[in-house]
Structure 1
Amino acid sequence: MWVERVIELTGWEPLGISEDWAAVEEELGVPLPPDYKELYEAFGGGVFSECVHFMGRDEGVAFDFLAQWRVSLAVDRDSSLGSVSAVEPYAIYAPGGTGLVPWGATEWADEYFWMIDAGQPGDHSVLARADGGTWHRYAMSISEFLYRVLADPAFLPFGIARYGLDATFEPASGADA
């Protein structure tokens, strides 16, 4: 339902991308949110409204959520950097554990993650923070969160509709931007 709303809002023609989700989920050790897969299959990775980055698969490192997760996990586990996590008080998800996986960001340094708990597969809360500040937890799907960011001016602090930006989508086109 929410994926269709994002498609209608942007006037996008779904791409019908095929992905080997079994391989991705095997690496993570948990199933991905079904609506994330639907969003990716419809849009691929790219930018909504010229400012909201949506990470997909294989669109270059900047738009590949798996590549971003691997880098974040390596940094989170690097003892030479100390014991502080970039996502305090959380940690980046490690297979079999509990933690965050990035799936989006904005030009204004907002960050979007889903919380994965290997002990509770299928529960994918959205966690977001504005410009490195306070964390906000949403018991909603990624597609509902994205729709509200794009269309709901009262969805604070993340709604961009209050800025009068058109709801558009620009695919990453394989760029390493």
Structure 2
Amino acid sequence: MIELTGWEPLGISVDWAAIEGELGVPLPADYKQLYEAFGGGVFSDSVYFLGRDEGVAFDLLAQWRASLSADQDNRFKDVSATDPYATYAPGGKGLVKWGSTEWADEYCWLIDAEQPGDYPILARSHDVDGWHRYDMSTAEFLYRILADADFQPFGIAQYDLGTTFTPGSGDPIDGQPL
């Protein structure tokens, strides 16, 4: 990803123990490396990568807490924004969103507290029904989105948007969290 984007790694220091303690599971090692190199922000002006402490728009934990709160709100009964899955709750099984696009595509890990270290990616496109499962690393999935025009329905290389990265400003996009 560094070579693809021409990015100079930031070397961000993160208290992963605190973050993983709140989640109750370790996060994928390659995700942590990506975050330490890039921080949260936007790839190719359209792929949002969640990190930590860049404001609510790019904050993985803030987004997860909001999703979990909505999933656990009794007013919504059994309705979930991640249907047929639930948002991951500590000790359980469910989704944690780590990325999205300006076209409303979503990228999540399917986390199972009983299988730490196993992080299949579930992705949903705004114009294709259902979730797609990918048994690959976060970095490989992100690379394929940006560089592989044949990685459908998620590849954006055919749009010739370049392979850039813009750090998160800490402000929500257009005044709205992602």
Q: Report the TM-score when normalising by structure 2.
A: 0.95
Contact between 2:50 and 2:98, CA under 8 Å: does it hold in 1?
yes
Q: Higher mean Cα deviation, 131-140 or 26-35?
A: 131-140
Correspondence for 1:146: 142
Instruction: Show CA shifts across 1:47-81 (max 9, x none).
Output: 00000000000001010010000000000011101
Counting only pairs closer than 5 Å after superposition, residues 10-159 of structure 1 correspond to structure 2 as 10-131=5-126, 133-159=129-155
SS across alignment from 1:147: helix
Aligned CA-pair RMSD: 0.9
SS across alignment from 1:102: strand
Q: Report the TM-score when normalising by structure 1.
A: 0.95
How far apart are 1:84 and its partner, in Å? 1.0
SS across alignment from 2:96: strand
SS across alignment from 2:154: coil
Instruction: Show CA shifts across 1:82-127 (max 9, x none).
Output: 2111111100000000000010000000000001100000000110
SS across alignment from 1:53: strand
For structure 2, the 5+ residue unaligned runs are 174-178
Q: Distance in 2 between matches of 1:13 and 1:124?
A: 27
SS across alignment from 2:37: helix
- The reply on whether 1:165 has 2:161 as its aligned counterpart is yes
2:152 aligned partner, one-letter code: L
Q: Distance in 2 between matches of 1:92 and 1:119?
A: 16
1:174 aligned partner, one-letter code: G
Q: Higher mean Cα deviation, 157-166 or 77-86?
A: 77-86
How far apart are 1:158 and its partner, in Å? 0.1
Contact between 1:59 and 1:176, CA under 8 Å: does it hold in 2?
no
Q: Higher mean Cα deviation, 41-50 or 126-135?
A: 126-135
How far apart are 1:174 and its partner, in Å? 2.4
Contact between 1:102 and 1:111, CA under 8 Å: does it hold in 2?
yes
